[in-house]
Amino acid sequence: MRGTEPARARGLEQGALMSLRVSELAARLGARVENLSTDVRLTALAMADSAGADELCFIADGRVRPAGRAGAVLVHAAADHRNALVVDDVMLACARSCAWLPVRRNGAARAQRISSLASSATIASSAQLGAGVEIGEGSVIEARVVLGDGVSIGAFCHIDVGTVIRGEATIGNRVRIGAGSCIGDAGFAYLRDGSSWCAMPGFGSVCIGDDVSILPQVVIHAGVLGDTVIAQGCILDSQVLIGHDSMIGAHSAIAGQSAVAGAARIGRGCRIGGKVGIGEGVEIADGVTITAMSMVTRSIGSAGARYSSGWPAEPSATWWRRVADFRRSRQ
């Protein structure tokens, strides 16, 4: 017997059927309507490159324009935008809109497909499977695993006890995910709204390549604007946190309790020691080694470099010279 994710939970993730007239949304956001009928009814919030005639999208960068089909577009300045809702802060208005409109993820269409479960897959009776789930041949889904709508699991994977995978995540072939891991939930992306915090909507997902090994209690957040990517052959130790929209290059290794903040980019073949912190948007070149308990606040552009402890992290040779100088000064 195969479990089924409760319909109520699926509805919360995909968003219940809702609609809102432009006039109502503009009033709630304090927006100005330009080149747009106030009677247009909006049913969802989507990215600009895929928004339909009944959907709201946003343009935070004036150089980027929607495909022209969006029902309404949040912009900072109307200019020659069609269907514009002009606001002071586009991203904050986008976040606020989630209170009234469901978010359509970039890969949401996968949740509408027919589930495909390989006959050779082993699925525990207590596992919960949402709509449109795919599980490849020879894969093992252990007890109390939750696979949300549209999740895709490749061949010969092993998903251990109590793991939760949501947000239309895509898992490659021969992937092992340890017990109690959480993949594809909303990331830590918030905007200041007066004295409160407003959560950014998540349009992206998680994409894990082939031959990845993930130990227990790892958390990988879904992307906000794009996907969070763990490339092929990576290994992630227990209690590692990968933030939204991050990219971990092929065959990189990250040791226990390290945290990678949102939108960071780690190159191929990197080795990240335990309890390392990598800051938001930091880019690390291929083959870099960062030793345990380092804090990386700036990008590292030298391939094959070695960085060590300290705040902020710096080249190992520099760090050890500082340690030697300190020791001599204490004698």
Residues noted as catalytic: 244
| Burial of 195 (C-beta count, 10 Å sphere; 0-12/13-18/19+) | exposed
Query: What are the two backbone dihedrals, phi and then psi, of residue 244, each rounded to the nearest 5 degrees?
Result: -60, 145
Q: How far is CA 189 from CA 92, 201, 222, in A?
A: 11, 8, 10
In this structure, what are the phi and psi dihedrals at residue 242, rounded to the nearest 5 degrees? -115, 120
Q: Count other Cβ atoms within 10 Å, centred on residue 16.
A: 8
Q: How many CB atoms lie within 10 A of CB 300?
A: 22
Amino acid at position 142, single letter: E
Which residue is listed with tokens 């073949």?
Answer: 269
Distance in angstroms (rounded) separating the CA atoms of residues 120 and 246: 33
What is the SS3 assignment for 96? helix
Distance, in Å, from the CA atom of 137 to the CA atom of 155, rounded to the nearest integer, reads: 5
Burial zone of 301 (CB within 10 Å; 0-12 exposed, 13-18 middle, 19+ buried): exposed
The set of residues, in sequence order, having a beta carbon less than 8 Å from that of 80 and lying 6+ positions away, is none
Which among 67, 153, 161, 142 has a CA at the least distance from the CA of 110? 153
Buried b (16+ CB within 10 A) or exposed e, 22-45: beebbeebebebbebeeebebbbb
Structural tokens at position 127: 């596992």
